[in-house]
């Protein structure tokens, strides 16, 4: 079942946090040091929301060919609102 936009917003937070979990090589010599951030239970839950969003988008894409023009327009309007929310959340996360 698709999640609500509100849950999607939380998932988008997870997406941005997922990007923050990385390993990077640092150091002035050939030796490298790896920085790893531990994932909390909350972070894992949020990342799972992102996976749910991706699954939902694949399902939407598969259903589009069977839709009439009016349905496509309504769906596009709804997706634009979600995209606006996505950009807002990512912007907030990039500032921190």
Q: Which of 7-16, 52-61, 84-93 has the largest mean confidence? A: 52-61
34 strand-pairing partners: 25
pLDDT digits (tens, 9 = 90+) for 27-42: 444 444 555 566 788 8
CA distance 42 to 11: 11
Give the residue-averaged pLDDT of 64-80.
97
Tokens coding 24 = 């990077």
Q: Where are the domains of the chain?
A: 5-95
What's the whole-model pTM score? 0.55
């Amino acid at each position: 079942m698709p999640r609500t936009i509100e849950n999607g917003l939380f998932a988008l937070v997870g997406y941005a946090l997922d990007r923050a979990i990385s390993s990077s090589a640092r150091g002035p010599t050939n030796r490298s040091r790896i920085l790893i951030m531990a994932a909390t239970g909350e972070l894992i839950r949020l990342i799972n929301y992102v996976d749910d969003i991706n699954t939902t988008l694949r399902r939407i894409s598969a259903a589009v060919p069977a839709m009439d023009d009016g349905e496509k327009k309504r769906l596009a309007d709804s997706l634009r609102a979600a995209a606006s929310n996505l950009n807002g959340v990512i912007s907030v996360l990039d500032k921190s």
